[in-house]
Structure 1
Amino acid sequence: MKVQKAFLKKRTGLVLCAVALGLVYILISKLSTNGKYKKASIKLEEIWGSTFSKNSTQLKDIHGTPSENKQLNDNVTLNNESRGYHPLNSIYFLKIHKTGSSTLQSILQRYGDIKNLSFALHASSNQLEYPQLFKKNFTMTLKAPYSRYDIICHHLRHSDEVFDVLKPEGKAITMLRKPTYNFISAFKYFDYWSKNCFGTHNIDKFLSTIESSTYKLTESGKCANRQLYDLGMEPTDAKNVTKVQKKIQEMDRMFDLVMISEYFNEGLILLKHLMNWSFDDIVYISKNVQAKKTTGIDVTYPKAYRKIRELNMGDEILYQYYNKTFWNIINDFGRERMNTELSQFNQVRDKIQRYCIEEEVNGTNKKLDQYNNPTWVPHKVNAYLLSKEGKDNATCRQLVTYEIAYTDYLRQKMNSLGYV
């Protein structure tokens, strides 16, 4: 990985570390916004309701008056032009299932929406023909003079053809999750998958059964190592240690950053520096968070935990490698520096959460307004009721809108902008 290697090669001495960081900043500052895109002729209220047009305020209004902003770091506000704000606008995010990827996708959707960027979208689905390996004809055809997309962030199964539709200067990122928790989260969320693979979609029954010392957990086909599967590996190859290690080498060359779900905010800080973005660009409200957490099974079901870990050994090798790599990067970035930026970022998130959100509810809550459920909110996950102020605020509406609704809107906007 380009940025990760830039960090890891400069680990000795404060001077060498400073040089490495300097090189990274030069790298991520090369591409500036060229302003070539036309202004949107489609209005958000066409998708999210007529009340949206009452107040088009963005984050600068949520942050408060200038006197209030003095209490925060300069980076917290939207006044980025004065400090040389030249963000990179092209990125490929491989959205791996059940890794917290919907929240990161939401960040990228909002960023591209604000900048009027192009998204690689299917003509009708929110996925790009998953589980087929990606082919460039899965996306809508761009009109001249456009030939490549700015952002790819929807579910697909990776193949190198992705880079045939992404702008050549685009960065590539993905995110991994601890395999045992990834497996259980998928088990609970995808009923059809868990029942077909293991005969039940009841997670407590499943864990209790395999906790027995005499029960041997086996699977056939596509029931394990799902993170490697999304990365393009065949199920049989994911059980081969040598092939998994080769895949890791390919990923090192391919991805500029591999985030770790359990340290999501730390990963966002690294993403912020990779793309030369601001705190406002990476602010979020969590999406697709299941009501019942998957953590703690190692204590409650220790034997089941071990068996699930062994079943997903390919994913485990992958995760352990990139978890170690991730923390090596943070060490070279600087723990104190990271903690400082996390503190600043949390101030931004807390202020926006207080301003926008009245209540966090289940996706089945009947109080959910049309702006949060114009198409679909997953019934198994969280959703948000906006505050009185948030209902009339553009940013708040964007922050709580779920993937399918946002994708439908972006597809219409792309047509209106003349991209497709």
Structure 2
Amino acid sequence: SSFLTVAASVGRRMRMPAKIFLALIAVTLGSLLMHYGGRWRCAPCSHPAGGGKAKRTNVTFLKTHKTAGSTVQNILFRFAERNGLTVALPKQQCGHHFCYPNPFSANFVHPHTLPPNIVGNHLRFNAGELHRVVPADARYVTILREPAAMFESLFTYYSQHCQTFRRVPGGSLGAFLEQPLRYYRPQDKNSNYARNTLTHDLGGDKDRPAADAAYARAFTAQVERVFSLVMIAEHFDESLVLLRRLLSWDADDLVYVKLNMRTPASKRRLTPDLAGKVRAWNWIDAHLYDHFNGSLWRQLAALGSACVARELRLLRAAQERLLQSCFGGRRPLRSSAGKIRNKDLRPWQPSAQVGILGYDLPGNLSRPSSSRELCLKVVMPEIQYTKILLHSQSARYRHNHRH
């Protein structure tokens, strides 16, 4: 049956032997049927997102590092602009993030962007201070990435900005992982990029000793209580299915182009041995990822494979419409920053050793003004988009507060 197909897929992704996993499923189903006397039904797909329900407009996105968070942020920024919403933006002295890596404070928010509907720039989670700013009915969302792939990206991206990484001879990831405590200092500037970065971003203690398994379990449970959805970067479209249903948005609200990607030359291949060492060093992040990756697939299984397949078709049809409108039906070609004609579309480059790719729009396509705006914004890097939003929202604030 389709349910067993999804269940088997979940078991594989949770790295559980198929026979054991299916046996657990059978026991669980039996218990449910006994408890509900045969009245149990699968979660319906008959009331899809956007099917007449009002769209949720209050969303707090905890943008983690090197996890496809920039792509999610861009989706939220565009939704806010189209719907006349307010995006919380950092004060100018904080840059384009909320004075990260400091714990978030309401004082970090630019006064012209209060009260907000959307939060999407980097911050370190601080529930009490966020509650001072965001609406009570805001839905909290974040995204995680497989720790080995994420740490490889962090190590490369912040090689010139993190003191821990700068100590490593030749910038060797292997050398660092062989003896991480030889190079790592918790008090260093930007040490948050060198160990359990997801945990740090989510407000946890990145330096808990590995023997403290109870802390990892308690912290994971805390994250689960706060966040309505934890997306998984490796399963981005499937995560968007759940996001769409959580927020009752249309598929066209969730179109995207992958942003902030490195050049192939900036990436390193990880051996299984190195990947294992990364997970051991970032052990709380690994615990978080494994838990929420499993949670994602349990939620998808509850929807049913037919429902998920239909939702994915809707999302991908919307993506095709975007590609047709903005890129003439072709996949957008990534370019190095120096080759991008429009300066507003050139992504920030962290160092000479790391190349971040961006996009140029084809100049030979005729588009209505609304499509031109969408096409420009869908490929716009975070720093430029943040500045544009702050300018437009400040103008609106001054207009609304004229005496």
TM-score, normalised by the number of residues in structure 2: 0.77
Residue of 206, 211, 224 corresponding to 2:173: 206
Contact 1:371-1:397 at 8 Å conserved across structures = no
Structure 1 window deviating more from structure 2 (260-269 vs 232-241): it is 232-241
Q: Give 1:198 shift.
A: 5.9
Name the CA distance, whole Å, in 2 between partners of 1:94 and 1:314: 18
Residue of 161, 179, 185 corresponding to 1:220: 185
Contact 2:335-2:360 at 8 Å conserved across structures = no
Q: Give 1:238 shift.
A: 6.8
The match for 1:337 is 307
Contact 1:360-1:382 at 8 Å conserved across structures = no
Residue of 97, 115, 118 corresponding to 1:151: 118
Q: Which has the higher contact order (CA 8 A, sep 6+)?
A: 1
Name the CA distance, whole Å, in 2 between partners of 1:284 and 1:414: 23
One-letter code of the match for 1:406? Y
Residue of 314, 319, 328 corresponding to 2:298: 328
The match for 1:172 is 140
One-letter code of the match for 2:185? S
User: Are 1:356 and 2:326 an aligned pair?
Assistant: yes
Q: Give 1:360 shift.
A: 1.8
1:202-246 residue CA offsets vs partner (Å, 9 max, x unmatched): 66x333x468xxx44433313211100101112223743211211
Distance change >3 Å, CA 363–CA 293, structure 1 → 2: closer
Residue of 334, 337, 357 corresponding to 1:382: 357
Contact 2:155-2:173 at 8 Å conserved across structures = no
Q: Give 1:169 shift.
A: 1.2
Name the CA distance, whole Å, in 1 between partners of 2:165 and 2:273: 20
The match for 2:18 is none
Q: Which runs of 5+ in 2 are unaligned?
A: 1-24
One-letter code of the match for 1:411? L
Contact 1:136-1:162 at 8 Å conserved across structures = yes
User: Are 1:232 and 2:203 an aligned pair?
Assistant: yes
Distance change >3 Å, CA 97–CA 293, structure 1 → 2: farther
1:295-337 residue CA offsets vs partner (Å, 9 max, x unmatched): 9845xx2322221111111111111111111110000011221
Q: Which runs of 5+ in 1 are unaligned?
A: 1-7, 29-79
Alpha-carbon RMSD across the aligned residues, in angstroms, is 3.0
Contact 1:309-1:316 at 8 Å conserved across structures = yes
The match for 1:265 is 237
Name the CA distance, whole Å, in 2 between partners of 1:104 and 1:228: 19
In structure 2, the residue corresponding to 1:365 is in which secondary structure?
Answer: helix
The match for 2:67 is 99
Name the CA distance, whole Å, in 1 between partners of 2:237 and 2:340: 30
User: Are 1:288 and 2:233 an aligned pair?
Assistant: no
In structure 2, the residue corresponding to 1:191 is in which secondary structure?
Answer: coil
Residue of 235, 244, 252 corresponding to 2:224: 252
The match for 1:135 is 105
1:176-225 residue CA offsets vs partner (Å, 9 max, x unmatched): 0001111001111112345533624866x333x468xxx44433313211
The match for 1:68 is none
Identity among equivalent positions (%) equals 24
In structure 2, the residue corresponding to 1:398 is in which secondary structure?
Answer: helix
Name the CA distance, whole Å, in 2 between partners of 1:168 and 1:381: 37
Distance change >3 Å, CA 305–CA 365, structure 1 → 2: same
